[in-house]
Amino acid sequence: HLRFSKLRLTGFKSFVDPTDLIITDGLTGVVGPNGCGKSNLLEALRWIMGENRPTAMRGDGMEDVIFAGTASRPARNFAEVVLQLDNSERLAPAGFNDDDTLEIVRRITRDVGSAYKVNAKDVRARDVQMLFADASTGAHSPALVRQGQISELINAKPKSRRRILEEAAGISGLYQRRHEAELK
């Protein structure tokens, strides 16, 4: 499967200086005191996979992911996340499948918005979303469960519970395609 191997954050939320997270095989745990940035790290993964709802990043607008400054450091003008995936099994979609690693970059610049690259080639948000939607159909699917989502699932009405489970099952990409096909 397409394994996440490295995550690099620059100016993303509290990660103002370039920060690398090396993801090795097996279970990775992230531990630290309240407010140290554990959830920000997970949100960076969500963001690089094409998430476009600011609320999913606990913000009012998408530019809220850019380092907002502290008493001692000025705010930044852009935030960037780079995700490297191990593609040695050549499971990436056609067009992106020539190399052993797949490098996805998303950068948001104030007043400009987001730009995406896959292996240094400019792509659309949708290309990245579809790449992960397709990679999610299978036993090794990336599934992100937010803080509080378990209790949401338990308390949800049947229709929204179904949506959460469909997302977890990795079939939301199929529905998205069907929906787009129906609109055409």
Q: Does 176 bind ligand ATP (CB under 6 A)?
A: no
Nearest by Cα to 105 from 114, 92, 96, 97:
114
Minimum CB distance to ligand ATP smaller for 150 or for 165: 150
Give least dist CB 39 to ligand ATP, A.
3
39 marked as binding residue? yes
13 marked as binding residue? no
What residue 72 binds from Mg ion, ligand ATP, none (CB within 5 to 8 A, per partner kind)? none
Give least dist CB 3 to ligand ATP, A.
24
Residues between 28 and 87 with contacts to ligand ATP, criterion CB under 6 A: 32, 34-40, 64, 66-68
Q: Which residue is nearest to Mg ion (CB)?
A: 39
Minimum CB distance to ligand ATP smaller for 34 or for 155: 34
φ/ψ (deg, to 5) at 149 = -75, -30
Q: Does 165 bind ligand ATP (CB under 6 A)?
A: no
SS3 annotation, the chain: CCEEEEEEEECECCECCCEEEECCCCCCCCCCCCCCCHHHHHHHHHHHCCCCCHHHHCCCCHHHHECCCCCCCCCCCEEEEEEEEECCCCCCCCCCCCCCEEEEEEEEECCCEEEEEECCEEECHHHHHHHHHHHCCCCCCCCCCCCCHHHHHHHCCHHHHHHHHHHHHCCHHHHHHHHHHHHC
Minimum CB distance to ligand ATP smaller for 42 or for 174: 42
Q: Does 26 bind ligand ATP (CB under 6 A)?
A: no
37 marked as binding residue? yes
Q: Does 9 bind ligand ATP (CB under 6 A)?
A: no
Positions in the binding site for Mg ion (CB under 5 A): 38-39
**Annotation: binding site for ATP:** 33-40
